[in-house]
Amino acid sequence: MPTFEPRNPDFRAAVSRRVVAQGYLTLLGVELTALEPGSAEFHVPYRPDIGQQNGFFHGGVVGGIAEAVMGAAAATLVAADANILGAEYTVNLLAPGVGTALHAVGEVIKPGRRLIVCRADIFAVAEDGTSTLCAIAQGAMAAIEGGSGSAATGR
């Protein structure tokens, strides 16, 4: 994994604030458990109301967590006044999301000026602490400098 230089020395505080500011991540119960330049990790305890018809984590939750953890990883590398908005992402669901929690790892692969391309691995954590890879994702996050992103993804 490559090493990245953060442009914002206070990136940890900035990304933590960003995660808290996303109502949806609070609703899902996302805990930000690790943050380094170019990477982020989330822990998401299971609850029936984020499940699907078989009691697994819902595929839309798994994908949403993947998108959000890639966004957090991307946000570690941008300027203090930049906003990050998802441009696109792809999720392959490998195994049912069965367990007491999801553990999500996002990392930046290519920090472009406009698009920051990332990958994510999502693990289902069993009661005994063992992890199973349950989804992989890749996607591009748009970095919108100097504003709140009212211009959306710059498009």
Q: Which residues bind a copy of itself (CB under 8 A)?
A: 18, 21-27, 47-54, 58-61, 63-65, 67-68, 71, 83, 85-96, 109-110, 112-115, 117, 119, 133, 136-140, 142, 148-150, 152-155
The minimum distance between CB 150 and a copy of itself, in angstroms, equals 7
Cα–Cα distances (Å) from 137 to 65, 121, 148, in that order, read 10, 7, 26
Closest to 38 measured CA to CA, from 141, 145, 134, 153: 141
Complex with a copy of itself: residue 48 or 129, whichever CB lies closer: 48
Complex with a copy of itself: residue 9 or 113, whichever CB lies closer: 113
The minimum distance between CB 42 and a copy of itself, in angstroms, equals 11
Cα–Cα distances (Å) from 91 to 35, 64, 67, 128, 135, in that order, read 22, 9, 9, 26, 7
The minimum distance between CB 15 and a copy of itself, in angstroms, equals 11
DSSP string, 32-47: EEEEETTEEEEEEE--
Complex with a copy of itself: residue 83 or 127, whichever CB lies closer: 83
